[in-house]
Structure 1
Amino acid sequence: MINVLLVDDHPIVRSGYARLLEGGHDIHIVAEAADADAGYVAFIQCAPTVTVTDLSLPGSSGIELIRRIRARESAARILVFSVHDEPVVVDKAIQSGASGFISKRSAPDVLLEAVRAVAKGERYFSDDVRRVVELRTPDAEREVINSLSPREFEVFRLLAQGLSVAECAQTLNLSQKTVANYQALIKEKLNVTTSAALVHLALRLGIVPGDRSDRLIG
C-alpha cells in the first residue's frame, strides 16, 4: 500500500484528490494538511511513502516544505501537483528535492500514475511540464534565480508577494536581522536595488501571481 500525505490549502480540492487517489485501491491517504507547517508536522508523524504538495500555500510555500522535508529525510519522495509550471518554478522545485512535478491541468489518471512512479523511486513529469522544461531556452535571469539557495528563493518569493521583513521573519521562524541579510544578498544576486524591481522580476518569471503583488507596483 502506498501511503500518501496530501498538502493543499483548498479543502474541497483536497477532498477530490483524496477520493481520486484512494480510488486506485493501492493508495491510502494517511494525512492531509492545508499549509507547509502542518504538512511538515504530518510528514514527521505519519512517514508517508509519497508527499503530494501544491506550491501555492498560505505562509511558507511548497518549495519551503520540500526543502524542510528533504533536510530531515534525504530519501523522502515528494510529488509537486501545481498549476504553476513555469520553468523557473519547476527548476526550483527539482533543486529543492522534488521527485516529480505534474500540472493540475493533467488528466486524473496522470496523478495516479505519478504517485505510483514516485513511490517506486522514479522521477515523473507530466507531458506538459516535460515540454516546458525540455523546450525552454537558456535565460540569464532564470540562471540567476537558480543560483539562489532554497531558503533565499523562499525569502525572495515572500518579499515579492509584498510581505515585510518582519512578516517574512515570522513566516519562516527566522530573526528579522537574518531576513534583512537575505534580502540584501538576494538583491545583490539579482542585480536589483528596489522592492518594485524585485517584484517585477518575480512577476515576469511567474514566481508570484500579479494580484498578490499589485500593492508594491505603483
Structure 2
Amino acid sequence: MNPPSFPFAAVLLAGGRSTRMKQDKALLHWHGQDLWQAQMHKLQSIGAERVLLSCRAEQPLFASDGVETVHDPEGEDKGPLAAITRCLEHVQMPLLVLAVDMPWMTAAFLREQLHKHTDPEKGWFFRGPHGDETLAGLYVPAMLPQMREALAHEDLKLQHVVEAAVHSGLAIAHPLADEQMSFFHNANTPGDLK
C-alpha cells in the first residue's frame, strides 16, 4: 500500500507513570520484545515522515536511528495532553498518536485509516461506548490553540479537547465498529496482557 496522500508524523506516547501496572508499561515484555519497541515498529512501518518517542528522561528507552525523542519536562506531570501538545508543536504537521499501552492496535488498521483520511487540516478519532478514543488518533496543528488553552486552565482531559475539536470542525469522530473495539483495548494491569 502506498503512503498516505499527505505527509504526517507519528509519536509513541510512553511516558506514563503506570501506577496501576506497578511497573513501567513501556518495559513489559510483549511477543519477545519490550512493549515500547513493538509499538514503535508499528509506527515506523506506516509511512510517517517523522517518528517520535515521547517519554520521561529517566526511562531507559533508547530510540533507534531516525526516531526523535521528546522528553517530558522534569517534574511536570500534565499527562498525555502536555506530551501530545509538545510533540505537535515540535513537528508542525498532522501527528498520529499511539499510546504504548495499546498493544492490540495494528499497523494495518492505522495505515488504512490514514489512507481513508484525505484532509490534512482535520484530525480524526474514533468514538466508542465510553467516548472518544484519544490515544490512537490524528492530531493536527489547527488544534494547538485549544490544546494550549486547556493546559493553561489545567483541564487535562484529552476527551474535552477532542470533543471541542470535533464540535468546531477541526476533527472528525468516526463511530467505532464492533470488530474495531479490540484495537483500542488498554493494558492497565499485568492481567490485561495475559
TM tier, shorter chain? 0.3 to 0.5
Which structure features the higher share of strand residues? 2
Query: Which structure has the highest helix share of the two?
Result: 1
Flag the structure with more relative contact order, 1 or 2, with Cα contacts below 8 A and sequence separation at least 6. 2
Larger Rg: 1
